[in-house]
Structure 1
């Protein structure tokens, strides 16, 4: 009897129980799968299997797939903001940025209205606050922040093509990252349209 009980306990140990555990597991699994293949190629059943929850619970806690995509975007934005506020390890921050940008790009390419689905943008608010200190106007700060994210999204999604097409495939990652950082600094320090 001890063996059967231990087996049941070990199976239950990795199965999320209760609303909070189910929601956390679903958000983590959905973020991973959306970043890997995009929301359109990921079914609710895929997410349920990956998170070890019944697919009916996903519908109960999130409703529609659009609402789940919005919840994942909010989750990723909040997680990145928390990591940045905690001055977390650079590798952990880089992984969070990568996941968030991939989900944003894939959801957008899949036709999701991510600007409408995501309700909170805490990491963008942090970027805007930092950018306002470097810009003379609010419009200049907003444009600089948008250009910075566009640059990062472009390299994240099309980096292989961009490296190959410009002869940069041999450039080491450290030099490449420094170059992007310098370009971001130029964008953030450039005068805005009404700052001339």
Structure 2
């Protein structure tokens, strides 16, 4: 290689992927309002102008990143459930990166960012679950169906957010944590899942 020549520019997909990965990490660390274009570019190892080139700015990159995280979560959820629309209990805890990004967006009061995902039945696990419940309970009061959905969502979100605190206040010894998780999953299947129809 000629030493006077610079290294080839990274391929378009590599730059896009690096920007999305860097943004996903930062989104879970500091939230959408606190992330700067320069932080993202530095973390991705690219020029900050690439963000504007590929995503038309920070907002476009944030939306693309959350959609990417949601799509990965959706696919993982389908795999864990064996193709069932309703994921197994506590499965959100298997995808903490997506959860952290959602939490930061909620704490930043950026529900519009979440809406870029949560209105798309192609990649939104909550929308998929809600539609499945509506299909299973066509004659039920729509508010009751939504309440059942909300109970499940609260259990999933609450567990992943407060698992360590729950283990502490429930006085679960570290050697018993896996058995405790298994018991919670079993109880959800036995007691809560029958409400799903």
TM-score, normalization by structure 2: 0.70
Give the equivalent residue in structure 2 for 1:75: 68
Name the CA distance, whole Å, in 1 between partners of 2:164 and 2:157: 13
Name the CA distance, whole Å, in 2 between partners of 1:116 and 1:21: 27
Structure 1 residue 103, shift from structure 2 partner: 0.8
- Indicate whether 1:51 and 2:53 are aligned: no
Name the CA distance, whole Å, in 1 between partners of 2:2 and 2:135: 63
* Within-5 A mapping of 1:122-141: 122=123, 123-128=125-130, 131=133, 135=137, 137=140, 139-141=143-145
* Within-5 A mapping of 1:1-196: 2=1, 4=3, 8-9=6-7, 12=8, 16-18=10-12, 20-86=13-79, 97-113=95-111, 114-118=113-117, 119-121=119-121, 122=123, 123-128=125-130, 131=133, 135=137, 137=140, 139-168=143-172, 170=174, 172-185=176-189, 186-190=191-195
Name the CA distance, whole Å, in 2 between partners of 1:97 and 1:147: 19
Kept in 1: contact 2:28–2:104 (CA 8 A): yes
Name the CA distance, whole Å, in 2 between partners of 1:108 and 1:188: 27
- Specify every segment of 5 or more residues in structure 2 that has no aligned partner in the other structure, as ranges: 82-90
Name the CA distance, whole Å, in 1 between partners of 2:30 and 2:177: 24
TM-score, normalization by structure 1: 0.70
- Matched residue of 1:120: which SS? coil
Name the CA distance, whole Å, in 2 between partners of 1:156 and 1:66: 27
Is the alpha carbon distance of 1:172 and 1:130 closer, same or farther for their aligned partners in structure 2, counting shifts above 3 Å? farther
Equivalent pairs, count:
183
- Specify every segment of 5 or more residues in structure 1 that has no aligned partner in the other structure, as ranges: none
**Alpha-carbon RMSD:** 3.6
